[in-house]
Amino acid sequence: MAVLITGIGELTTNDAELGKLRDAAVVVDGEKIAWVGAAADAPDSDERIDVEGRAVLPGWVDSHTHLVFAGDRTTEFEARMAGKAYSAGGIAVTVEATRAASDEQLAANLRRHVDEAAKQGTTCLETKTGYGLNVEDEVRSARIATDVADEVTFLGAHLVPPGADAESYVDLVCGDMLDAVAPLVRWADVFCETGAFDEAQSGRVLKAARERGLGLRVHGNQLGEGPGVRLAVELGAASVDHCTYLSEADVAALAASDTVATLLPACDLSTRQPLAPARRLLDAGATVALASNANPGSSYTTSMAFCVTTAVLQMRMTIEEAVWSATAGGARALRRDDVGVIRPGARADLQVLEAPSVTHLAYRPGVPLTAGVWRCGRALT
């Protein structure tokens, strides 16, 4: 059944030819977008929805979350707000709670957070393992994630589990753990940082994942300058995420590569770190994505709108750059061309704002502006 969405005051398509349209309409047929153009030229359809001048844009593509978890880290957050620094070690608290939770509890928690994100306009979401850190719990995390998320990443190399020896743990990740998890997922990731995995260990994990046909992602340069960005670029990772502390060489390497710099402003704020240098990256020509990094430790939000608002108000991105980075940029970080864009043939993932233009996302910070969401052609709100 074809549905005509008309009366669109401002349509952000992210398509190079279509650009931004005024007084526009979109036809959704089944799971796909069938037509995009001026409202006056719209074809007949089975159903007609008039959005009465509101802005429409692609659904958010949240390319970085950690939502297969149990437990709560409010105490750690309170300590951080009182001046204690964020450290990778907090991950162990969530590992303990996640291992103790049933499959049903983990699945329900994941579903709850994905639904929360969808209500705010997120229509494509990546999530990771990484709170299991043994073969059994990493496999079940991956299984649970694949039932719910669009994209799943293996992050067995999130932290050396308490009591384990780092080199033996990397052997396990590169051997039995990858053997068991690789058939279930598309991506592998490593937390390349002081307190987690060093350059050599990270390189071993990424190469072992690549040998099994997985695409690569890297957590890098979150807590200080380091080898994460360089390694990601050298190994052709789709994305290096965080990028809070970048040297000039890191920026130049990203600009000359296909590796997306995925920035996580809610995490930078929640860990009281500087905001990632979006302007330096963009001015150098790097591709930038914005993602929520939703997780119970460093960034407990599913709000992509908050990330866009922060990117504009505090990181000196234009609203167009920020919206692109949170939609098409996320799609680029996931190597997808069917989401993050409104064009015929793309997945029908759209959001309607309670506003005449995307500028209101920054102009009205903190105001919930989601008026409607379609995912795969189905209205969610």
Question: Looking at 54-62, 145-153, 255-263, 292-300, which segment touches ligand NIG (CB under 6 A)?
Answer: 292-300
- Give 242 or 332: the residue with its C-beta nearer to ligand NIG: 242
* Binding test (CB under 6 A) with ligand NIG, winner from 297, 329, 340, 372: 297
State the sign of the Cα–Cα–Cα–Cα dihedral 34, 38, 44, 46.
Answer: positive
Q: How many residues bind ligand NIG (CB under 6 A)?
A: 14
Q: What binding mask, one character per residue, do residues 25-64 give for ligand NIG by CB under 6 A, x or -?
A: ----------------------------------------
Spatial separation of the C-alpha atoms in residues 86 and 98, rounded to whole Å: 20
CB neighbour list of residue 233: distance below 8 Å, 6 or more residues apart: 240, 253, 254, 257, 259
b or e along 57-66 (b: 16 or more beta carbons within 10 Å of the residue's beta carbon)? Answer: bbbbbbbbbb
Residue 77 touching ligand NIG (CB under 6 A): no
SS3 299: strand
Figure out which of the listed residues 11, 59, 66, 362 binds ligand NIG, where binding follows CB under 6 A: 66
- The yes or no reply on residue 302 touching ligand NIG (CB under 6 A) is no
Give the Cα separation of 371 and 354 in Å (integer).
5
Among 60, 187, 191, 306, binds ligand NIG (CB under 6 A): 191
CB closer to ligand NIG out of 229 and 353: 229
Nearer Cβ to ligand NIG, position 191 or 374?
191
Q: By beta-carbon distance, which residue lies closest to ligand NIG?
A: 297
Of 186, 219, 230, 375, the one binding ligand NIG (CB under 6 A) is: 219
Site for ligand NIG contains 295 (CB under 6 A) = yes
**Measured torsion, CA atoms of residues 86, 89, 93, 96, in degrees rounded to the nearest 10:** 160
- Answer for which of 221, 259, 298, 301 binds ligand NIG (CB under 6 A) is 298
Using the minimum distance from each CB to ligand NIG, give the nearer residue, 293 or 327: 293
Least separation in angstroms between residue 349's CB and ligand NIG is 24
| CA atoms 291, 312, 365, 77: torsion sign | positive
**Structural contact between residues 307 and 62, judged by C-beta atoms closer than 8 angstroms:** no
Stretch that binds ligand NIG, among 280-288, 294-302, 324-332, 356-364 (CB under 6 A): 294-302
Residue identified by tokens 């037509």 is: 35
Distance of closest approach, residue 168 Cβ to ligand NIG, in angstroms: 21
Question: What backbone torsions phi and psi does residue 274 show, to the nearest 5 degrees?
Answer: -65, 155
Nearer CB in complex with ligand NIG: 120/299: 299
- Please count the other Cβ atoms lying within 10 Å of the Cβ belonging to residue 227: 19
Choose, by CB under 6 A, the member of 267, 291, 322, 361 that binds ligand NIG.
Answer: 267
Stretch that binds ligand NIG, among 9-17, 43-51, 207-215, 290-298 (CB under 6 A): 290-298
Residue closer to ligand NIG, measured from CB, 34 or 266: 266
Catalogue the long-range contacts made by 307-310 (C-beta closer than 8 Å, 24 or more residues apart).
307/264, 307/265, 307/266, 308/361, 308/362, 309/361, 309/362, 309/365, 309/366, 310/265, 310/266, 310/269, 310/275
Nearer to ligand NIG, 73 or 343 (CB): 73
| Residues 235 and 203 sit within 8 Å (Cβ to Cβ) | yes
Residue from 98, 122, 201, 222 binding ligand NIG (CB under 6 A): 222
Residue 91 makes contact with ligand NIG by CB under 6 A:
yes
Q: How far apart are CA 59 and CA 327, in angstroms?
A: 7
Rg (CA), the chain: 20
Query: Judged by CB under 6 A, does residue 94 bind ligand NIG?
Result: yes
Instruction: Measure CA 308 to chain center.
Output: 12
Q: Which residues bind ligand NIG (CB under 6 A)?
A: 66, 90-91, 94, 191, 219, 222, 267, 293, 295-299
